[in-house]
Amino acid sequence: MWRQAVWYGTETILWQALLDEQGEQAPLQLRRPVNRMPELVTTIVRDLSAKFPSFGNRRLAQLVARAGLWVSATTVATMRKTPTTPKPEPEPEPEPEAAEQQSSRAAGGSPPPAVSRRAVTAKAPNHVWHVDLTILPTGGFWVPWLPFSLPQVWPFCFWLGVVLDHCSRSVVAWQLFRKQPTGEEVVALFETGRKRAGATPKHVISDQGPQFGVAHRAWCAMRGVKPRYCAIGEHGSIATIERFFRSLKNEMFAKRIVPLGFRLLYAALMAYLTWCQDHRPHQGLAGLTPAERLAGAPPLAKGELLEPRARYPIRDDERRGRVCALQLVVESVDGRSHLPIVSLREAA
């Protein structure tokens, strides 16, 4: 390949060699962009990614932002990028049969309630509640088929009932059962939620299980609450609380044995729900936690921020403080490493 040469005194130097030179004497100085993050931020992101590989790019970006360092999800993806083999596309799931759909209807009593097609919008906290039940198998790892191959009672599994506020994504009330709860037990769970929240919702969204039959509708009529039921077989009817259960099982029981004892599982659930309420950034809340949403906290971008880029203009922004070196501090709730509390401190 032909390369242009230039005469400097008594030496002939190639332009390619000039471009490779470093230091103040180089004839060509490549300026570093002012908005490029320093290597310490890359180190922090990769350290978090190694500690919590199941967290996505947006979750990691929100964890770092909550600690005061604003990094976009695309920047996090670039920092943690490693060559990987492409994943095979998942096969489409077969459509559920009509008989299986009919088996989930309310059993043994009142006819199934009418389903309203009008969407409900949560205007404020405690305006719309979700309620649902899920199964937690004991004595082994969480797999989707295990609860349905054994009797759905303790010691084979526990039942977990949760009442979730739609606006703040906070858990209003929850209870652990050794067997499938009755409608009266679900009503007692609602009353516990009313006392803790100090408010009564306008709408309660549930599926059409047997627990949400006569007793459930009687409680709603007594409290002036409008019950709303999801459509059988319709995707996304109760997506909010189903997504909560998916996060709970993935983040709490991934590669961990589900405790067999009631007290052990209760303590694990208490620790997770505390972390979820106070420390876990929620993507549906733009990175805020449910506790911050209930308290009316401002968005993350309007909070106190750290600026590690030396030449990035601050423009008299009182919220942004310039730092040269940062130290990553990762604590946990109740000593459980899978429930992180991330903070950044200025290194000495």
What is the CATH number for 218? 3.30.420.10
Residues 166 and 256 in one domain: yes
User: Is 217 among the domain residues?
Assistant: yes
Helix (H) or strand (E) holding 205: strand 203-206
Tokens of 2: 């032909």
Handedness of CA 173, 178, 184, 188 (dihedral sign): negative
Does residue 101 register a pLDDT over 50? no
Residues 177 and 205 in one domain: yes
pLDDT band, residue 103 (cuts 50/70/90)? very low
User: Is 58 among the domain residues?
Assistant: yes
What b-and-e string marks burial along 60-97, b requiring 16 or more CB atoms within 10 Å of the CB?
bbbbbbbbbbebeeebbeebbeeeeeeeeeeeeeeeee
Q: Which letter does DSSP use for residue 209 in this model?
A: -
User: Is 335 among the domain residues?
Assistant: yes
CA angle 319, 323, 329 (to 5 degrees): 95
Does residue 86 register a pLDDT over 70? no
pLDDT reported for residue 111:
56
Q: Which letter does DSSP use for residue 111 in this model?
A: P
Give Cα 67 distance to the centre of its chain: 16
Domain containing 75 equals 33-79+304-348
The pTM score is: 0.77
Q: Which residue has the tokens 């549930």?
A: 206
User: Is 293 among the domain residues?
Assistant: no
Residues 138 and 264 in one domain: yes
Residues 128 and 195 in one domain: yes
Provide DSSP, 132-152.
Answer: EEEEEE-SS---TTGGGGS-S
Q: Where are the alpha helices (DSSP H) in the chain?
A: 15-20, 39-51, 57-66, 73-79, 98-103, 183-197, 214-223, 239-253, 262-278, 290-294
Q: Which residue has the tokens 């943690």?
A: 80
Residues 199 and 142 in one domain: yes
Contact criterion met (CB below 8 Å) for 287 and 301? no
pLDDT reported for residue 233:
59
pLDDT reported for residue 28:
60
Domains contained in the chain, number: 3
pLDDT band, residue 120 (cuts 50/70/90)? confident
For residue range 30-50, what is the model confidence (pLDDT) as tens digits?
A: 667 888 898 999 999 999 999
User: Is 101 among the domain residues?
Assistant: no
pLDDT band, residue 320 (cuts 50/70/90)? confident
Q: Which letter does DSSP use for residue 309 in this model?
A: -
User: Is 271 among the domain residues?
Assistant: yes
Residues 53 and 6 in one domain: no
- How far is CA 328 from each of CA 101, 194, 333, 338, 341, rounded to the nearest angstrom? 50, 40, 17, 16, 11
pLDDT reported for residue 102:
45
Rounded average pLDDT over 266-277: 96
Residues 168 and 208 in one domain: yes
Give the SS3 label for residue 94: coil
Which range, of 6-15, 56-65, 119-128, 230-239, averages the lowest pLDDT?
6-15
User: Is 148 among the domain residues?
Assistant: yes
- Give the span between the Cα atoms of 318 and 65, in whole angstroms: 17
Tokens of 323: 């730092």
Contact criterion met (CB below 8 Å) for 179 and 159? yes
User: Is 104 among the domain residues?
Assistant: no
Q: Please give the residue that has the higher pLDDT: either 165 or 321.
A: 165
Instruction: Let me know how long the chain is.
Output: 348
- How far is CA 84 from each of CA 78, 80, 81, 313, rounded to the nearest angstrom? 13, 12, 9, 37
For residue range 172-222, what is the model confidence (pLDDT) as tens digits?
A: 999 999 999 999 999 999 999 999 999 999 999 999 999 999 999 999 999
Tokens of 116: 């309203």
User: Residue 277, exposed/middle/buried by CB under 10 A (0-12, 13-18, 19+)?
Assistant: middle
Boundary (domain end) residue, out of 285, 312, 328: 285
CB atoms within 10 A of CB 132: 22
Residues 41 and 136 in one domain: no
Residues 227 and 326 in one domain: no
